[in-house]
Structures are given as structure tokens and as C-alpha cells.
Amino acid sequence: MQYFLRRLAHALFVLVSVSVLSFIFTALAPGDFLDEMKLDPGISPDAVAALRVRYGLDRPLPSRYLEWVRSVTRGELGYSFAYNTPVSALLWPRLRNTLLLSMTGMAVAWVIAVPVGAWTASRRGGLADRLSGAICTALLVVPELLLGLALLFIAVRTGRFPAGGMLSPRADALGEWDRIRDVAWHLALPATALILLMLPTLVRHVRASVSETMAEPFVTGARARGVPPGRLLFRDVLRAAANPLASLLGLSIAGLLSTSLVIEALMSWPGLGPLLLEAIAGRDMHVVLGAVLCSTLLLLAGNLVADGLLFLTDPRLRSDNA
């Protein structure tokens, strides 16, 4: 219990520190949303000044930060100047869509990477290992933008997949199951892009971890006792290689938001990516802060999941914290 309490205290410290630094950096950046309004000749300087007082932008920085924290505790996450609404009303639907896309991609990538990485590790230097390495290297050097454009080209030329969005125009008239199939149809290409982006790194990490474990003496002993290769690889070796893979899983969860931003913007997926780009371009500070806060929470959640898995798989941690 002390182990998890220390980790929670560390997570809280990181969350507060990130919120303070993010608020300071966004507040000190040159210009704000109201500066853009000054360029409109139809808006008088007095109206802009009144809006600055209304939104509290004339207050000192510590006072503005405390007001934003109070808004966070109320579940509002600040106020969007561009949309004239609390940030949470904008953020939660977009965050749900982003998590649907990124978690689908991550789950499928892990399901593929673990058996492929373990299998190639058991055949180091063979044809399958070299072929897997070549494919992973090729995917690593392909930029996200080029990969997304290639999938969009396939969608446009074949007509079998939608070229963007999350729902068809007729989605409102569909039943529940037809609507789910429609979302899955739109999800196919963005999720494929994420899978191809994450897969090379995961396969290489799994292969390296399994290869290192297979050099342990207990593997040689198990082979001498006649343990079947498949059982040895996928039960004993993978279990022994679980520690670095648990940490990698935590990093995968932590990067769920950042991984999908470019793909979302390119394929018009209505997630956090397009909203964040619009907020940065329009200097909608509280929307940017809300997105940073969500990303930080996912980072901390990923670290806590990794810590929990390590605690379960590594007896040394349990003995140290008994």
C-alpha cells in the first residue's frame, strides 16, 4: 500500500507542476484571443476592453490561475473564448472519440506485436526475423503524414472506405447496430494508420525483451527437460520478460493522445487533434490547457498501470514494500 501511496503522491505533484507551468507558458505567450478581435474594424476598443475585464484577462497571473483551478474543480476546465462555452463541453466528446481511435489502434498493435516479436526472437537470424526487421525499419522511416495520405489515396481510389469523418451523413436515421458498424467502417483507416505507426516499435521491444530472456539459464534447462518450444516461448519466456513489456504498455497508454493527433487532423476524425490545432491557432488558452491536462492525466494513468503490473509480476517489489 505504501508503494501505491508514494506513486499517487508523485502523480499529484506532477499534475500540479504541469498545470502551473502550462498556465504560465500559455499566459506569457505573445498575444491572446482578444488581440485577434482588435483587427476587426467592426469591434470597438471599448468592447474588447470590456471583454478583457469580463474574462478576467486584466487580473494578475496568480489570480487567473486560481480562478482556473476553481473552474477545474467544478468540472468546467476553464472557458473557451472562441466557442463561448465551458471547455469541458468541448473536450469530453472529442476526448471520447480520440480514445476510441487510439485505444483501438493500441490494442490491435499489441495483439499483433507480442506473438510476432516473440516468434521472431525465437528465430534470430532466420528468414522470418530478417523479414520482420526489414518491414519494421521501413515502417519506422515512413512519416505519419505520408502514411495517412497513402491510406486516404487508397480510400478515394477504391471507394471502399470513407475518406474522413466518423459517421455517414445518414447516420441519424440508422439503428443502433447499423450505427456501430458505420463508426467501425469510418474507424478502419485511421486505426490502421495508428497500428502501422505503433507496431514497429512494439515488435522491436518485444523481440529484444524475449531475446534477452531466452539467453537465461532456465531456458536452457527447460529445453533439456523437453519442454515444447511453443509452451516454453509463450508461457515461460513471455512471463519472465513481462517487466520491460509492462513499462512499455504504460508508455503506450501515456502516449494515446499525442500518437493520434496528426492522423485525426489529416483524416478529419473529430477528436482532440483538430480541436487542439484550432485552439492553438486561435489562441484559445483554456482549450489548450484542457488538452494538456487530459494528456497529463493519461501519462500518469499509464505510469500507474505500469507500476501496478510491475508490482504484480515482480516479487522483489512486493517484498520491498511488505
CATH number at residue 139: 1.10.3720.10
Q: Please tell me the total count of domains within the chain.
A: 2
Q: Which residues contact 117 (CB under 8 A, 6 or more apart)?
A: 202, 203, 204, 205, 206, 207, 209, 210
Residue 142 per-residue DSSP state: S
**Same domain flag for 31 and 158:** no
Long-range contacts, stretch 145-151, CB < 8 angstroms, 24+ apart: 145/262, 145/266, 147/193, 147/196, 147/197, 148/193, 148/262, 148/263, 148/266, 148/267, 149/266, 151/189, 151/192, 151/193, 151/267
Task: Indicate the pTM of the whole model.
Answer: 0.81
**Same domain flag for 64 and 204:** no
**Same domain flag for 124 and 81:** no
Are 295 and 289 in contact by the 8 Å Cβ rule? The answer is no
Per-residue pLDDT of the chain (322 residues; tens, 9 = 90+): 676 777 788 888 888 888 888 888 877 777 666 766 666 666 777 777 777 777 777 788 888 888 888 888 888 888 888 788 888 888 888 888 888 888 898 899 999 988 888 888 888 877 888 888 888 888 888 888 888 888 888 888 887 778 777 877 776 777 778 888 888 888 888 899 889 888 888 888 888 888 888 877 887 787 778 778 777 777 778 777 777 787 777 777 777 777 788 888 888 888 888 888 888 877 888 888 888 888 888 888 877 777 777 777 666 655 555 5
All three cell numbers of 194, joined, read: 495508428
Partner residues linked to 85 by β-bridges: 80
Of 21, 55, 87, the residue at which a domain comes to its end is: 87
Question: Within 13 Å and on the Cβ side, how many CA atoms surround 163?
Answer: 10
Query: So what's the pLDDT on residue 83?
Result: 83
Of 41, 58, 87, the residue at which a domain comes to its end is: 87
Query: So what's the pLDDT on residue 155?
Result: 84
Are 268 and 164 in contact by the 8 Å Cβ rule? The answer is yes
**Same domain flag for 309 and 261:** yes
**Same domain flag for 80 and 149:** no
**Same domain flag for 79 and 132:** no
Query: So what's the pLDDT on residue 39?
Result: 64
**Same domain flag for 59 and 14:** yes
Of 87, 122, 157, the residue at which a domain comes to its end is: 87
Partner residues linked to 86 by β-bridges: 79
**Distance (Å, whole) CA 77 – CA 278:** 17
- Domain limits for position 68: 2-87
Q: What Å distances lie between residue 112 and 162, 198, 200, CA to CA?
A: 25, 11, 10
**Same domain flag for 172 and 54:** no
**Same domain flag for 38 and 146:** no
Are 284 and 221 in contact by the 8 Å Cβ rule? The answer is no
**Same domain flag for 303 and 165:** yes
**Same domain flag for 55 and 119:** no
Query: So what's the pLDDT on residue 108?
Result: 92
What residue has cell string 506513486?
7
All three cell numbers of 295, joined, read: 494528456
3-state helix, strand, coil in the chain (%, to 5): 80, 0, 20
Query: So what's the pLDDT on residue 270?
Result: 87
**Same domain flag for 143 and 286:** yes
